[in-house]
Chain A
Amino acid sequence: MGDKSKTDTSLNPKQRSRREFLENAGTTAAVATAVPVLGISAAQAQSDTQSTVSKTTIQLTVNGSRHSVDVEDRWTLVEVLRDQLDLTGTKIGCDRSECGACTVIMNGKPVYSCSQLAVWADGAQVTTVEGLASGGQLSPVQQAFVENNGPQCGFCTPGQLMTATALLSNNATPNADEVKQALVGNLCRCSNYNAIVEAVVMAGERSGGAA
């Protein structure tokens, strides 16, 4: 059992102190140096505009453009796409592979970019929602989303589009069940699922394989 010696008499006996069951209850803290409240000294402010964590240079081809990016090992692919390459179309909904908003196509397959470290993607070919339209022309699935109200709030839309695009490149004319199977990893809390499935089916029917 945990450290029961620290019984807090004010607690209901049926209830248990958190420090009994959670790790790191007393947060470890470095020895405090004397700084005034909120007093970030001018010298310190000058010297710390860059994180001191070491970086690795990786190569990414995103939407056909090659990029050489210096990344921290802990940066995820979606952080690099959004923060370093300013491709903010890819969204972060959960950051835990629970929602699908961050889906991109990596080396031909849809993946959750929140759950890949950027250093693991070194050398990869990545397509994001910004890479779907070409020459000012929406892709068939984008066009179908426009017509059949694919986006409600629109936050899951880039992810849905990326997974749908990967599906259509393997199966040009999916039926509704196939669309649901393929897109199951993309949540929509507006619950616009009916319209999304209809739009993907419609895109396949229209382009008949030219998605």
Chain B
Amino acid sequence: MSEAIHIGLEPLNTIGNATARVDAVERVTGEAKYSRDFKLPGMLYAQILRSPHPHARIRSIDTSAAEALPGVRAVITGDNAPIVWGAGSVSGGRQYNDPTKDATLHRRYIFNNPVRFVGDSVAAVAAIDRHIAEQALALIKVDYEELPFVLEPEAALEPGAPQVWPDGNLCPDFRNNFEPMVSNLGDVEAGFAEADQIFEERYETSFIHNAQMEPRAAMAHWEGDKLTLYTPTQGISNCRHDTARDLGLQDHQVRIVCNYMGGGFGNKNQNQDADLVAATLSKQAAAPVMLEFSRRDDWLGVHGRWPTVQHYKIGAKNDGTVTAIQMFGYSGMGPYRKNSGGISGMDVYACPNRLRSISAVYTNRTTSGNFRAPSEPHGFYGVESMMDEVAYKLGVDPVEFALKNMRRPTDDQPFTNYSLEEVITRGAEQFDWASRRKTTPGSDEGPIKRGSGFSFMMFRAGVGTSSAIVRVDAQRQYTLFVGVTDIGPGAKTTMGMIAAEELGVPLDQVEVVAGDTDRCPYSVGESGSRTTIQTGYAVMQAAKDLNQQIADSGMPIGSDVLIASATPNPSTDGKTRQCFGAHFVEVEVDTRIGTTRIVKYTTVHESGRIINPTTARDQIRGATIQGIGQALHEDLLYDPASGQPLTTGYYRARHLTHLDIPEIDVTFIEVDDGYGPFGAKTAGEAGIILAPAAVANAISNAIGVRMTSLPISRDKILEVMA
């Protein structure tokens, strides 16, 4: 077993000790019930009919033959179920903002007309078994008028491009203005004038499906006017609120249950159209309905990371000082604005002149949305490839270049703590950067070439509100009620460990109740790396309160219980709070066949205090490997002539297997900055941010050619080596 190296803090009583998950036994025995594992008496099976066209107007739908098929119990279309899916399209991509959802210009319905991508939902059927439901779909007759389509974001903004929406293909911002997202600091033109040299390059990144192992499923069940949904979600509270709003219900009329979830990486945030479709079918059929997505349904009907094009222009002095950074970016959002379309990264540099303009663009590809660190991996790949190139062209070691140009705390903007220099220098030392990197890229003789690359980052670790309830009974059994779902990182265990630590009891004396909106208070949701910081802090405060009650009135006796709840809303006192990381990787590129093999991979992260070393280690390792897949393999190809997706599914997207995986070395520099629960920061998204940039830089160091397009597949390497 390879353990992470921990530097800086000693374990507390519970926190900081490698701890098995509280629900590990359920996970290894098959007892853990995922959404699709539930079954109720009389339950029907449902499926969705999807558009075969990238863009088409529906002239008419004839469902009569489907309805007549024995065993079919409900058929719904946009005609009899005109339900807006609020979280499916939000102006400006402001997914958590109710007023913006209400004001959104380009609304997404659960069934849309026109249909705007291959996979857009057209109708749904519930039947007594899944094969009959599938047969019924084939009996629905849809008369389509095909419309012109556009697949690439830059092409979509050209004059005369097919219009995805009547008002054009530039996505509106949250005020419904059709403008790019612009951030302009200092004066880039002055910065370019000051520079000795100017560098320009275009980078491109692909659509990456989140590809979580569990395809979406939702079971809906009505008791009177109360809806229960067994559904995979990364936030039971958000899911409840969104579902209630979309169906015209009060929050309390919706119960969301999700105790186990088979991964999401951002595509199970909020509610989903599947929830609304299952609920509507269930109401129509007056029976519980299990809606099941196939893998292809999931690939096309859910979402993945937006593809981008990034045009950089960098000004630098000959001594290695960056004087200006400019980036014009284009993010392909598909036809609905589910999320921001952000392209992050340049803000890790201190350069005072920075201009960033991002156009989030509608296309007729499948919808883009959040994937673990939504704006970062592709953005860091672009900007850190660019900077790596600048460093080599100026004859500067990229690590020295980073240390010279990276953002540091200032009097105007203090940090709660700052570890960026330490993660970089420690990583360089552990990795043996000085001897592994090629000072002249591509200098290895022969066809098999080694090279090393590095990348670095800081990433938000801000605090915020959430809730928790803790109870103790006369048997001294503690129960923690938290509205978290365990999507993989181990939130139930982490919350239990924080409670046990603060209560001063062993973990096995704390039962964690989670994953059910009727039993648990609000929690922020398992997105944005916020659960440990925000809900964890609420747990800590509730436990403190309970301790105080026990001190004041003693332990309860008989059937009495003591209950404490907390909904803190902490601040960082005006300081910025970040986690920090640096990745170093050595690759071996076989330039005759285009293969890239990872030889060594070193990660150093400062994510504050580590609550559970076991699960934190695997957050970094797993996220890093996902990022390697993005760097080397994954892409959703479309046929340009027909707008049909060609590479849906694990086989065609070439997801990494056991045999493709290197050992990932993990080091945590632990710090308690006095904020968050015991000083914990973000870890879940940190690992993926740096992998594409580090791997790409290592490949360029090995072969001596800058690779400007992800994934860096074999054909691309062979093309530049030809």
Contact = CB atoms under 8 A, between A and B. Distances in A.
B29 A194 contact: no
Q: How large is the interface on B (under 10, 10 to 19, 20 to 34, 35 or more residues)?
A: 35 or more
A79 B71 CA distance: 18
Interface in A82-101: 82-83, 86-96, 98-99, 101
A4 to B, nearest CB: 14
Interface stretch (A54-62, A105-113, A118-126, A179-187): A179-187
A182 B214 CA distance: 23
B28 A150 contact: yes
Which of A21, A22, A146, A184 is packed against the most chain B CB atoms within 10 Å? A146
A152 B489 contact: yes
Interface in A120-152: 128-130, 132-133, 138, 142, 145-152
Contact of A44 (B70, B294, B618, B651): B70
Contacts of B284: 38
Contact of B659 (A25, A92, A94, A180): A180
B70 A153 contact: no
Contact of B642 (A16, A38, A91, A150): A16
B679 interface: no
B52 A31 contact: no
B28 A188 contact: no
B30 A92 contact: no
A28 B615 CA distance: 52
A51 B623 contact: no
Interface in B630-682: 641-644, 649-651, 655-659, 661, 663-664
Contact of A89 (B25, B31, B70, B629): B31
Given A15-B642, A153-B262, A192-B618, A93 B67 contact: no
A51 B131 contact: yes
A176 to B, nearest CB: 9
A190 B658 CA distance: 12
Contacts of A194: 2, 618, 621, 625, 661, 663-664
B720 interface: no
A129 B29 contact: yes
A153 B29 contact: no
Contacts of A29: 62, 65, 139-141
A86 B142 CA distance: 37
A189 B65 contact: no
Given A74-B131, A193-B658, A88 B37 contact: yes
Interface stretch (B73-81, B177-185, B308-316, B544-552): B73-81
B21 interface: yes
B542 to A, nearest CB: 27
Given A10-B146, A129-B29, A193-B661, A94 B295 contact: yes
Contacts of A38: 67, 74-76, 80, 284
A138 B29 contact: yes
Given A96-B295, A149-B21, A32 B65 contact: yes
A186 B658 CA distance: 8
A121 B32 CA distance: 26
A146 B65 contact: no
A37 interface: yes
B24 A153 contact: no
A35 interface: yes
A90 B263 contact: no
Interface string B205-236: 00000111111000000000000000000000
Interface in A156-205: 156-158, 161, 179-181, 183-199, 202
Contacts of B30: 87-90, 128-130, 158
B715 interface: no
Contacts of A195: 617-618, 621
Interface string B702-718: 00000000000000000
A26 B21 CA distance: 52
A42 to B, nearest CB: 12
The A interface, classified by DSSP as helix, strand, loop or mixed, is loop
B279 interface: no
A51 B128 contact: yes
B291 to A, nearest CB: 14
Nearest to B68: A33
B682 to A, nearest CB: 17
A40 interface: yes
B39 interface: yes
A21 B21 CA distance: 51
Nearest to B34: A155
Nearest to B70: A48
Interface string B1-39: 110000000000000000011001101111111101101
A18 B658 contact: no
B113 interface: no
Given A11-B148, A38-B284, A152-B618, A96 B651 contact: yes
Contact of A132 (B29, B65, B148, B265): B29
Interface string B378-419: 000000000000000000000000000000000000000000
Contact of A189 (B20, B142, B643, B655): B655
Contacts of B21: 146, 149, 151
A157 B28 contact: yes
Contacts of B618: 149, 152, 190, 192, 194-195
B28 A151 contact: yes
A35 B618 CA distance: 55
B374 to A, nearest CB: 17
B162 interface: yes
A8 interface: yes
Contact of A93 (B2, B39, B213, B663): B213
Contacts of A53: 131
A5 interface: no
A65 interface: no
B110 to A, nearest CB: 16
Contact of B655 (A26, A47, A158, A187): A187
Contacts of B162: 12
A152 B657 contact: no
A34 B69 CA distance: 12
Interface of B: 1-2, 20-21, 24-25, 27-34, 36-37, 39, 52-53, 62-65, 67-76, 79-80, 128-129, 131-132, 138-142, 145-149, 162, 210-215, 260-263, 265, 284, 294-295, 487-490, 614-615, 617-618, 621-626, 629, 641-644, 649-651, 655-659, 661, 663-664
A-B pairs, top 6 by smallest CB distance, nearest first, are A89-B30, A155-B262, A32-B64, A191-B625, A153-B488, A88-B37
Given A11-B147, A138-B29, A153-B260, 4 more contacts: A32-B62, A35-B67, A52-B70, A145-B27
29 contacts: A8-B145, A18-B642, A22-B644, A32-B65, A32-B68, A35-B64, A37-B67, A50-B128, A51-B71, A52-B71, A93-B214, A95-B295, A98-B651, A129-B30, A146-B20, A151-B21, A152-B489, A153-B487, A155-B263, A161-B28, A186-B658, A189-B212, A189-B213, A190-B618, A191-B623, A191-B629, A192-B621, A194-B661, A198-B1
